[in-house]
Structure 1
Amino acid sequence: MKIEQPKIGKELPEANFQEIYYKDEPYLDACIIANCSIDRESIDKIVLSQVVFKNVTFSDVYFRNIELTDVIFDHCDLTNADFMGGSIHRVEFKDSKLLGINLSDASLGNVLFESCNLNLSAFGYASIKQVKYDRCSLESADYYECTLKKVAFDACRLNEVNFSRTPLKGIDLSSSTFQRLTVSLEDLNGCEVSADQAIGFAAMLGLTIKE
């Protein structure tokens, strides 16, 4: 599956996140923010375009309805960040910690999560299209009543993920690992799984498999 990469210039000036407060509207564009901490910030409808965050820690941030376009998070810590209702397009999260991040009600398109910790993350009611999770840990993540279209889970850890009321037709889970998922039988229709995973699902349904 092809993911559109962020469209970002090679030579970006360094910026300080506090510069956002000197503008009429809460936005930043065409810059790099590196080696810092963004603490206790609460901004509604912040807009970030062509921004690279490198080695940045976000602590107690509430950026609901955030708009992210052509943005890269590289080795960042977004633990418990609140991006509820966000619009996230052509964005990459690389080697980052997103433990407990809130992306519920968000719209994600052409997004890459690569080698990220997304345990306990919340995606409930989100629209997720053209998104790839590559070697990520998603244990106990919540995808309640999501729309998944052209979504790839490659070599991910998915134990205890909640897919309740989320159709998995066309979703390939075969390269990922899990002991248990929360998912209904009807929503598994058309999902691609490995032979071992199929045996596990059969056991969840109470079937006894004879060799």
Structure 2
Amino acid sequence: MANKKDKRVKPKLSMEHELLRPSDIWNRDGFIEKARFEGGVMPGADGERLVFDNCVFKDMSFANSDWRGAEFVDVSFQTCDFSNVQMENVMFHRCEIVASKLTGIDMANSNIGHLLMKECDARYVNFNFSKMKEVEFAECNLEDSDFYECDFKQVRFEKCKLDDANFSETDLDGVDLSDNTYERIEVTVPKIAGCIVSTEQALGFARALGLTVRDE
């Protein structure tokens, strides 16, 4: 297990970044690098395909804006607000999102690699049809989240709330859910083979399959 965790690559960030205002993104020809944004409201991308490379966002609000198709490479997000953001078809590579709010964000059909999402409120997040490789969700609230028909490669959930999360049509082979909490999740029966669960969770799956569990 430890070796698998070591494969996630952290963001490659410079020691110094240029402090920019949110409006400065329009002066960079769609490519923003070695920049820091701190405290304020980010404007929506409005259909522009923006690329952020080696950037830091702290205490920024993206709420209720449109960032579809944006690319983030080697980016750190700290205490940011992504509530109800449209982020379909985005790319995250070597990024970290920490202590942030992502309630209702739509990230369907996205390409996500080497991402850490830690201590985030990500209820109602939509990851449908996304590809994820070396992604770690740690201590997040993912209740009512949607992972329908995702492509998982080394995706980890650690101490997350997963009640009513939807994993239908997603292959959970090798995914460890044993230290996460939930009363009910949606899964596709042929695709749960190899999923790692606790004894209590296994009993819950058995009952969901219509089996009668007899205690000795």
Instruction: Indicate conservation of the 8 Å contact 1:39/1:60, yes or no.
Output: no
Which whole-Å CA distance do the structure 1 matches of 2:93 and 2:186 have between them? Answer: 28
Q: Which residue of 1 aligns with 2:18?
A: 13
The answer for the alignment partner of 2:68 in structure 1 is 64
The corresponding residue for 1:88 is: 92
- Structure 1 Cα separation of the partners of residues 183 and 35 of structure 2: 42
In the alignment, residue 115 of structure 1 is paired with which amino acid? E
* TM score, norm. by length of structure 2: 0.94
Q: Which runs of 5+ in 1 are unaligned?
A: none
Unaligned runs of 5+ residues in structure 2 are: none
2:173 maps to 1:172: no
- Aligned-residue Cα RMSD (Å) equals 1.1
CA separation in 2, counterparts of 1:36 and 1:110? 27
User: Deviation above 3 Å: which 4+ runs of structure 1?
Assistant: none
What TM-score, normalized to structure 1?
0.96
* Structure 2 counterpart of 1:116: 120
SS state at 1:59 partner? coil
Question: What are the equivalent positions in structure 2 for 1:185-200 lying under 5 Å apart?
Answer: 185-200=189-204
Q: Is the Cα–Cα contact under 8 Å of residues 73 and 93 in structure 1 kept in the other structure?
A: yes
Alpha-carbon distance in structure 1 between the residues aligned to 2:24 and 2:47: 13
- The alignment status of 1:55 with 2:59, answered yes or no, reads yes
| Cα offsets for 1:116-135 (capped at 9, x unmatched) | 11110010000001000000
CA contact (8 A) 1:39 1:59 kept: no
Residue aligning to 1:184: 188
Equivalenced residues, count: 210
Report the counterpart of residue 162 of structure 1 in structure 2: 166
Identical residues among aligned pairs (%): 32
Q: Which amino acid is 2:84 matched to?
A: N
